[in-house]
Amino acid sequence: MKKAKLLLFSSYIGFVIVSSTLGFAPGERIAQNFILFSIQMLKILPCAFILIGLFDVWVKKETVEKHMGAESSIRGYIWGLLLAGTTVGGLYVAFPVACSLYHKGARLSVIFTYISASAICRIPMTIFEASFLGIKFSLIRLLVSLPLVIASSMLLGSFLEKKAYRITEGR
């Protein structure tokens, strides 16, 4: 697997070098996009991972279990939606937070709600969307998508809990 990744990365670097040498515009744009994306990630991820680390240390397991655990009822989904709305950095940040929530005792269905909602209803993204497409469109989209997110999360969580699914530590 490591050899395949190394070969893929080497092929990419070779493609970028050949593209810049020959003046192949699509290859040069790919390299520029990669550099811009890397710079954006270097701006966001270190701060986000510090906040995730602080969340992991400061938020007690009992608090997560109480508000998002097995006994939380609909309140857990509301907390998941609120947490997702404030998540900055998209799914790059949402997945580590979800892992931390899982290890602190949050229900799988609440975690699925959090991940799904952080992909579709972050506050900054919704404001941006409303400025271009209108508040009416954004409200309709949220009113349709959020119940579907919760319902599908409940179904998937219930199915996996019946199967006694556990997330394992892996690479």
pLDDT band, very low/low/confident/very high, at 170 (cuts 50, 70, 90): low
pLDDT tens, residue by residue, 49-102: 888 888 888 989 999 999 998 888 899 999 999 999 988 777 888 898 998 999
pLDDT beyond 70 at 171: no
- Ordered by start, the domain boundaries in the chain are 1-42, 59-162
pLDDT beyond 80 at 167: no
Closest CA to 60 of 22, 89, 100: 100
pTM for the predicted model, two decimal places: 0.78
pLDDT tens, residue by residue, 110-142: 999 999 999 898 888 889 899 999 999 999 999
Mean pLDDT, rounded, of the chain: 89
